[in-house]
Amino acid sequence: MRIATWNVNSLRTRIDRVIAWLERTGTDVLAIQETKATDAKFPVEPFTQAGYQVARHGISQWNGVAIVSRVGLAEVEIGLPRCPPFGDPPVIEARAIGARCGDVTVWSLYVPNGREIDHPHYSYKLEWLAALRDMGAARLAADSTALIALCGDFNVAPQDDDVWDMAAFEGRTHVTQPERDAFQAVVDAGFADLVRPYAPGPGVYTFWDYQQLRFPKKEGMRIDFLLGSAALQAATVGAHIDREERKGKGASDHAPVVIDVDRPAPIVAVPPGAAIVEPTGSTGHGEGDVQLW
DNA sequence: ATGCCATCAAGGTGATGA
């Protein structure tokens, strides 16, 4: 089965491109970030028409994550346990959603940007990554053989080769040691980078800024990742970054990142009335309510 | 060619992104 992650930078703006990409590439499960759509405004119908079920989480025009699947979609979870809030008033933002697709548990994750090193968003980013690490560690403690994919825009470049010019990032976020340590802590919890072995650098990126001809000049950043549990790593047989999708009018500034997994992926017909899969149980993250743990 | 900032809600601009 084929699993991908993609920061689409507005799903409604790019819905035709996303559907065409899914159909062209035969992707079974797509983790989407930056939908920039509330649940009510999420474009469900195009995915249903293409044979995908939808789980989405959006509470404002910012952030927003989703998982679409044509191989089953169940056990939907909204948000991370003990997720830190941000802002005034504090809000637990729409940055995480998980679901079981076939026998793989897939998470779509949009890690906070951090903005500037001295900005509150930066410490929020580090706390958010710690909450992600804790969730991943807990899941593997409960079942060390679980097939788990942590997919998304991590907003961290873990290695110097993951940006086109380290000098350009002096004093900036995404490359600082605390951010890299927080990313590595997720890896150390038992989640390996499934893509890098198949797409080694240098010069291999997943994001290119719209400004300053960054894409044609090949000046990008590797900040989108598919991290997998040991069992998923063992089942992964290929991976790539689809930089072709960054080309042309109306492209997202991020490229899709793809893994191929040697697991059965029977296409599941969308059950009548089950185009949208709502979360099972309560995680306390519904409809913008704020809970401080 | 890959091409010179884009998205949202709200409003005619500011916040956000990286």
Give the nucleotide nearest to A250 (CA→C1').
B6
Task: Say which CATH number the domain at A165 has.
Answer: 3.60.10.10
Distance in angstroms, CA of A61 to C1' of B12? 20
The pLDDT value recorded for residue A269 is 85
The pTM score is 0.95
Residues with CB under 7 A from strand B: A 7, 9-10, 12-14, 34, 36-37, 41, 61-62, 112-113, 115, 121, 153, 155, 173-174, 207, 209-213, 215-218, 221, 223, 247-251, 254
Which residues neighbour A81 within 8 Å (Cβ) at sequence distance 6 or greater?
A: A131, A134, A135, A138, A283, A293
**How far, in Å, CA of A185 to CA of A231, rounded?**
19
Give the nucleotide nearest to A221 (CA→C1').
B18
What is the number of structural domains in chain A?
1
Residue nearest to nucleotide B2 (CA to C1'): A216
Domain that holds residue A94: 2-292
Give the nucleotide nearest to A10 (CA→C1').
B7
**Placement of tokens 């000046």 in the chain:** A219
Query: Does residue A107 register a pLDDT over 80?
Result: yes
Query: Does residue A283 register a pLDDT over 90?
Result: no
The pLDDT value recorded for residue A232 is 98
Q: What is the mean pLDDT of residues A20-28?
A: 96
Give the nucleotide nearest to A153 (CA→C1').
B18
**How far, in Å, CA of A144 to CA of A31, rounded?**
23
The pLDDT > 90 percentage for chain A reads 90
The pLDDT value recorded for residue A288 is 39
Give chain B positions with protein CB within 7 A. Answer: 1-9, 16-18
Distance in angstroms, CA of A182 to C1' of B8? 30
Distance in angstroms, CA of A182 to C1' of B4? 35
The pLDDT value recorded for residue A2 is 97
Interaxial angle between packed helices A120-142 and A177-188, expressed in degrees from 0 to 180 and rounded to the nearest 10: 10
Q: What is the mean pLDDT of residues A55-83?
A: 96
Give the nucleotide nearest to A36 (CA→C1').
B8
pLDDT tens string A127-162: 999 999 999 999 999 999 999 999 999 999 999 999
The pLDDT value recorded for residue A273 is 74
Distance in angstroms, CA of A266 to C1' of B12? 51
The pLDDT value recorded for residue A281 is 66
**How far, in Å, CA of A127 to CA of A90, rounded?**
14
Distance in angstroms, CA of A216 to C1' of B1? 8
Residue nearest to nucleotide B9 (CA to C1'): A61
The pLDDT value recorded for residue A268 is 84
Give the nucleotide nearest to A243 (CA→C1').
B2
Q: What is the mean pLDDT of residues A227-247?
A: 97
Q: What is the mean pLDDT of residues A247-263?
A: 96
The pLDDT value recorded for residue A176 is 97
The pLDDT value recorded for residue A290 is 41
Query: Does residue A28 register a pLDDT over 60?
Result: yes
